[in-house]
Structure 1
Amino acid sequence: MSFGDITNVTTGEARLSYVHLFKPHAQQPGAEEKYSCTILVPKSDTATKARIDAAIEAAKQKGISGKWNGVCPPIVPHPVHDGDGVRPSDGMPFGPECKGHWVFTASAKADYPPEVVDQNGNPMINQSEMYSGVYAMVNVEFYPYMFGGKKGIGCGLGPVKKVRDGEALGGSAPTAAQAFGAPQPAPQQSAAINPITGLPM
């Protein structure tokens, strides 16, 4: 990844889904395990969307001058989709959390774990603080690929910074308080009585 290049983008505050930032995950059984997360950029954040559009165009130019041998396909697949539309994979609508957002997934190979930091920029110690539904800023790199005869634009995952908590999206385990009720104060231990004096020991 080349920070400062036009193909490198740091988002504004975005919501994360399908978070696999600490342990590589395979999208399908037998597929390559990668670190990844799906990034939901609100459509109101036009500045981030403009940077993403510029990065994709720059990545196309890199493809033409590099991997694509001087030829740009008439349609170049890229990872950014309209959350108010349908998934390109199966034609089904995106989940309700995607409404009003631009949606894309960024990934990194298993030997390039992303740096994950808390609100203060310190390394994230408690991995449970980065979950599907959290709000974060993400650094990504758009790049051209040619794989199996297919040309397109991919998205590499860079550092991730937590911004604030959000409502967890489906699939997260309940907290102990949700499952068992709010913690109760420990019962007061009654002091032992001295049987001879009748006073507390």
Structure 2
Amino acid sequence: MTKVITGKCLLSYVFVNKPKAAVAGGEEKYSLSAIIPKNDKATLGKIEAAIEKATKEGVSRFGSKFGKAPSFRIPLRDGDVDKPDDEAYKDSYFLNVNSKTKPGLVDKDVNPILDPTEVYSGCYGRVSITGFPYSVNGSTGISFSLNNVQKLEDGESLGGKPRAEDDFSAFADDDILG
């Protein structure tokens, strides 16, 4: 298993405070989609190296055919190909990562984030992930588990609903309501 700390990426489909099942009746997990700019060669290089190392680990664990099947799944996906109509994924790669356990959440100064609304779809952060091989019911590939999240800055909410902090300013008793 190889741990990777990403560079700054856009976070989407964020479920880091309350787990959610990917399909109805499925196992609930904490998850997010890390959207990585195509020009972040350092992060992409670390992810590709982790995929290569996990593939070698898969060969030693599951046999020499591991990684050779046409259905072999690699988690790093091209946003321009897989989500061409979603502006958030333009000129980016993305990884969907999850965990059965709640990830640690910290701010840019590494202080714990306690407010459940602070990390959301549309904010920017770094993600700690671990690559591993899998072979389950004839399906083989590489996946990454979600370890921790460091929020770096706010961004425009991707959930369609604005945050209250963005809608309002401080209100004084002498303000006139229209």
Question: Could you state the TM-score of these two structures normalised by the residue count of structure 1?
Answer: 0.80
Please say if 1:84 is aligned against 2:75. no
> Would the alpha carbon gap of residues 65 and 100 (structure 1) be closer, same or farther in structure 2, given more than 3 Å must change?
same
Which residue is 2:23 aligned to?
A: 28
For residues 163 and 4 of structure 2, the distance between their equivalents in structure 1, rounded to whole angstroms, comes to 34
- Which gives a bigger RCO, structure 1 or 2 (Cα 8 Å, sep 6+)? 2
Which residue is 2:171 aligned to?
A: 184
Please say if 1:171 is aligned against 2:160. yes
For residues 157 and 14 of structure 1, the distance between their equivalents in structure 2, rounded to whole angstroms, comes to 14
The amino acid across from 1:71 in the alignment is K
1:4-43 deviation per Cα after TM superposition (whole angstroms, max 9, x unaligned): xxx2110000010000001111111111100000000111
Cα distance, 1:182 vs. partner?
Answer: 4.2
Identify the range of structure 1 (167-176 vs 135-144) with the bigger mean alpha-carbon deviation.
Answer: 167-176
User: Which structure's CA Rg is the greater one?
Assistant: 1
Which residue is 1:123 aligned to?
A: 112
Q: 1:94-173 maps to which residues of 2 (within 5 A)? A: 95-109=86-100, 112-173=101-162
For residues 33 and 144 of structure 1, the distance between their equivalents in structure 2, rounded to whole angstroms, comes to 21
Whether contact under 8 Å (1:134, 1:162) holds in the other structure is yes
For residues 176 and 161 of structure 1, the distance between their equivalents in structure 2, rounded to whole angstroms, comes to 21
Which residue is 1:196 aligned to?
A: none
**Secondary structure of 2:155's match?**
coil
User: Which structure 1 segments of 5+ residues have no match?
Assistant: 88-92, 189-201
User: Which structure 2 segments of 5+ residues have no match?
Assistant: none
> Would the alpha carbon gap of residues 62 and 79 (structure 1) be closer, same or farther in structure 2, given more than 3 Å must change?
same
1:77-121 deviation per Cα after TM superposition (whole angstroms, max 9, x unaligned): 11111011125xxxxx35210001111111001xx2111111211
For residues 37 and 139 of structure 1, the distance between their equivalents in structure 2, rounded to whole angstroms, comes to 12
Structure with more of its chain in strand, by fraction: 2
Whether contact under 8 Å (2:74, 2:142) holds in the other structure is yes
Whether contact under 8 Å (2:105, 2:150) holds in the other structure is yes
**Secondary structure of 1:170's match?**
coil
Q: Once the two structures are aligned, what percentage of the paired residues are identical?
A: 36
For residues 143 and 186 of structure 1, the distance between their equivalents in structure 2, rounded to whole angstroms, comes to 57
**Secondary structure of 2:45's match?**
helix
Question: Could you state the TM-score of these two structures normalised by the residue count of structure 2?
Answer: 0.90
Q: CA RMSD in A?
A: 1.8
For residues 141 and 174 of structure 1, the distance between their equivalents in structure 2, rounded to whole angstroms, comes to 31
For residues 51 and 134 of structure 2, the distance between their equivalents in structure 1, rounded to whole angstroms, comes to 12
